[in-house]
Chain A
């Protein structure tokens, strides 16, 4: 008994000895970003390495807000990301469910669309897509243009399909025998089981929307409709780069999502324990 607890202790020490330096390395650039956001520009480029925050954050933020209405841009980014994530998780779950759990005519065709579009670089679709959305649909500078076209997310569908195919089929067959409708099976049986996967997918989708740059840049040219990364990008140019302002904006862009992430992490764990109990 004693030797076993000793082995456990050693395992514990080794585990932490490996993970702790790795975690420090991983957090280091973020710490640097935070420190720089609190320093004036000339401090960032001073020859000394400073790793202790200074007091210039408010000043940097004021410069940022004076250059571009960053708070409004933050609001738009948050709203777009929330709406997009909810819609997208639901849509990709529906599509993933259909592909995982039914045979139907034209299935290879649908799978071909999904696999084909995953590998297609967005950069080449973007010009014709922009022309279509802006000129034919007259949707430039609208919330719809920001949210709807990116809802087509093949990766999410594959992700959900994977999750649904790993579930035991007997579960759904049993429900069918009892006469439960397909919609009900999806909503009441399959979705609750897929909660861990949905949480992971939601994080990824939220991030994708939050950090999306090229499409919002092109489609929303009106300054009042800019998202936060686009607003931040306006500070980078040839003649003057305000690093302190950019770093302050970067911290503001990163901090709320880190908070959301911490909150979702709990939901994550809760979802997993709920699944384990069955």
Chain B
């Protein structure tokens, strides 16, 4: 048996095609869809500065980059490109399970001055114990996208919507004036986005900012869940999955959608006929003078530890992410919202956007960046998220006496699944 095994491996090894070895001046990147296209749009400017470095962006799907990076890290880094794109909420999983798979960017020139160019909420998940595993790229400052014509018909001025009770009152007016529409939609099937957005706005999350304890049953989170149920019961938000929201936007059945700012491109490309009819306003708060900023989604770039061109890879990241030139190019071309704080001073950001009825949406949206509170993903994010969604479904169906009981149960389940303690 031993001999058979050996000879089989030898013959297979002989038959194998030898992978082409990477050239020293080539940098390869794994990314996806719009994000990959955005990276490609920076290459012209990058190659003016560094004509000798050839950058190749491989456009793989979002899930595929995750699966492949995971598999390659499990195999000791074999097959990884020089740079991988990592979504922020999944980021800590990679650093905690495979710390050796990535390069510490501080050793390559990611100085503390450069780190300070980005808001804290983007850095929380990317830096552990003084090691910077990735540099922040785009982010998802939350905004409410709304149909100007629907609101106008109902006589609702979005500037007067300060808190969620205003939103409910406005919703009733908008729906009465526009039969067949709904004020907003939330994915109660496969996502927890409304809870995460409002909770983040209120400074609450599944876990504490240090990632060491469970905070999902804290008062701010409980108030968030109560308010979502109130809005659902009032009939102003209905359940819709990702594609159903797009269908509703196109068909004019939704008066507003709340999402990270990256949803801008989805609305614009999904409903090109509705140019001029959409607008943007900041998310309402739970209280009269409460905060109006939150984040949902966003990615970062990391350099693999097996990369043979770490210096060149860093030069590209440095250009694309830490300069206005790189970040604003990506905003312009594909609507990726820069995490870079200085981007708000760029002339393009101050330009009115024709699709959005001439509103200067980017300066409105980017202005919220410094106010966003960190919301820690932690390596247990997906466990906590699944438990939260099951609890939410049960709570909506009347399975708990109140929101506090629901989130207490969720907290207990997360404790069992993760071994982390409940926060005091």
Contacts and interface: CB of A to CB of B under 8 A. Distances in A.
- Direct chain A–B contact by Cβ atoms under 8 Å: yes
A65 B62 CA distance: 18
B243 interface: yes
A229 to B, nearest CB: 11
B250 A218 contact: no
Nearest to B297: A238
Contacts of B246: 45
B247 A45 contact: yes
B311 interface: no
A221 B15 CA distance: 19
Interface residues of A, number: 39
B270 A130 contact: no
Given A137-B9, A217-B64, A234-B60, A240 B34 contact: yes
A221 B29 CA distance: 12
A45 B64 CA distance: 26
Contacts of B190: none
B79 A139 contact: no
Contact of B75 (A41, A135, A222, A238): A135
Nearest to A42: B250
B114 interface: no
Contact of B265 (A130, A140, A143, A239): A239
A9 interface: no
Contacts of B250: 42, 45-47
A219 B74 CA distance: 13
Contacts of A205: none
Contacts of A223: 58, 60
B270 A45 contact: yes
Interface stretch (B65-73, B227-235, B278-286, B381-389): B65-73
A214 B273 CA distance: 38
Contact of B59 (A148, A230, A234, A238): A234
Interface in B203-254: 242-243, 246-247, 250-251, 253
Interface string A106-142: 0000000000000000000001001100111111111
A277 to B, nearest CB: 42
Contact of A142 (B16, B269, B270): B16
Given A135-B76, A237-B63, A241-B242, 9 more contacts: A41-B269, A47-B247, A137-B12, A221-B68, A223-B60, A235-B33, A238-B62, A240-B33, A240-B266
Interface of A: 41-42, 45-47, 67-68, 127, 130-131, 134-144, 148, 214, 217-218, 221-223, 230, 233-241, 243
Q: List the 3 closest pairs (A to B, CB-CB), nearest first.
A: A237-B62, A47-B251, A234-B61
15 contacts: A42-B273, A47-B250, A131-B74, A140-B79, A141-B79, A144-B12, A214-B67, A217-B67, A221-B68, A221-B72, A223-B60, A234-B61, A238-B32, A238-B33, A241-B242
